[in-house]
């Protein structure tokens, strides 16, 4: 009897949970799906624990990444500072280039003005030599008087030709005769007494003509200036 009961118990143990539940009405049905699969086979407990550990925690979701926004803000701030430094550097370079360009333009203008001034000086030096020739020709014509000889006519032509060349260089003759004395244009070489108040400080005679080039006086005129003196009463 005992051997038969043991065989029956072994048969019941070999049966699946579903067979045991169908054959034995007093056997408790196990519905723990966490430990058994749908076929009734026991699950691997370690793999279940590993899967549970890998599941995200709703309460602590994103907690490992809480430091990411702070690090991202630091990176953005560093990039912003680097961008501002780059913009400042570009602005500094642009201002330096503009200043250099302005200096270059000012230097070119200054150099051009200096060249023009030197050219005017050279023109004046050449004019000084030609004016001395004109003075000699004027003295020759004055010495000839009213002589209408071919020689006098030739001297007159040479004098007029030199004066035309000087005018082409921008040199003008200054004739102060009859005008009020101007020390910037006329050099008073002699004084003539006059009793007419209207002629006081006027140029009454020109000994040597003056010349100027634009606003610059190359050579002042040498002249005789009248001075008013009240006549004595007897």
Regarding pTM above 0.75, the answer is no
**Lowest mean pLDDT: which of 57-66, 79-88, 154-163?**
57-66
pLDDT top residue among 147 and 89: 89
| Statement: residue 213 has pLDDT above 60 | yes
CA atoms within 13 A on the CB side of 25: 0
Cα gap 156→71, rounded to integer Å: 100
pLDDT at 22: 46
Tell me the domain boundaries of the chain: 98-169, 173-234
- Select the CATH number that applies to the domain covering 173-234 from these four: 1.10.1840.10, 2.30.22.10, 3.40.190.10, 3.40.50.800: 2.30.22.10
pLDDT at 223: 92
What pLDDT digit, counting tens, does each position of 15-51 carry?
A: 544 444 444 444 445 455 556 666 666 665 555 554 5
Q: What letter would DSSP give residue 234?
A: -
For residue 219, what are the β-bridge partners? 211
Mean pLDDT, the chain, whole residue set? 77
Give the β-pairing of 186-194 and 221-228.
Answer: parallel
| Statement: residue 109 has pLDDT above 60 | yes
Question: Which H/E stretch holds residue 228?
Answer: strand 221-228
pLDDT at 234: 53
Q: What percent of the chain has pLDDT over 70?
A: 69
Q: Could you report how far apart the first and last alpha carbons of the chain are, in Å?
A: 196
| Statement: residue 225 has pLDDT above 70 | yes
Cα gap 93→99, rounded to integer Å: 10
Residues 6+ apart with CB under 8 A from 227: 191, 192, 193, 194, 200, 201
For residue 157, what are the β-bridge partners? none
């Amino acid at each position: 009897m005992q051997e038969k009961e043991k065989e029956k118990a072994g048969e019941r143990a070999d049966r699946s949970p579903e067979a045991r539940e169908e054959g034995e009405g007093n056997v408790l049905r196990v519905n723990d799906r966490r430990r058994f699969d749908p076929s009734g086979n026991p699950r691997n407990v370690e793999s279940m624990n590993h899967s549970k550990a890998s599941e995200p925690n709703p309460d602590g979701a994103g907690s490992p990444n809480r430091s990411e926004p702070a690090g991202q803000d630091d990176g953005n701030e560093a990039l912003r500072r680097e961008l501002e430094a780059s913009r400042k550097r570009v602005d500094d370079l642009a201002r330096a280039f503009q200043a250099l360009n302005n200096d270059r333009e000012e230097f070119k203008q200054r150099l051009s003005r200096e060249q023009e001034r030197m050219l005017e000086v050279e023109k004046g030096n050449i004019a000084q030599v030609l004016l001395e020739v004109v003075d000699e020709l004027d003295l020759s014509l004055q010495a000839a008087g009213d002589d209408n000889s071919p020689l006098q006519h030739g001297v007159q032509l040479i004098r007029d030709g030199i004066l035309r060349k000087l005018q082409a260089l921008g040199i003008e003759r200054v004739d102060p005769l009859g005008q009020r004395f101007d020390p910037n244009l006329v050099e008073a070489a002699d004084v003539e007494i006059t009793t007419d108040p209207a002629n006081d400080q006027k140029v009454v005679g020109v000994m040597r003509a003056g010349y100027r080039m634009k606003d610059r006086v190359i050579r002042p005129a040498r002249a005789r200036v009248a001075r008013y003196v009240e006549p004595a009463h007897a």
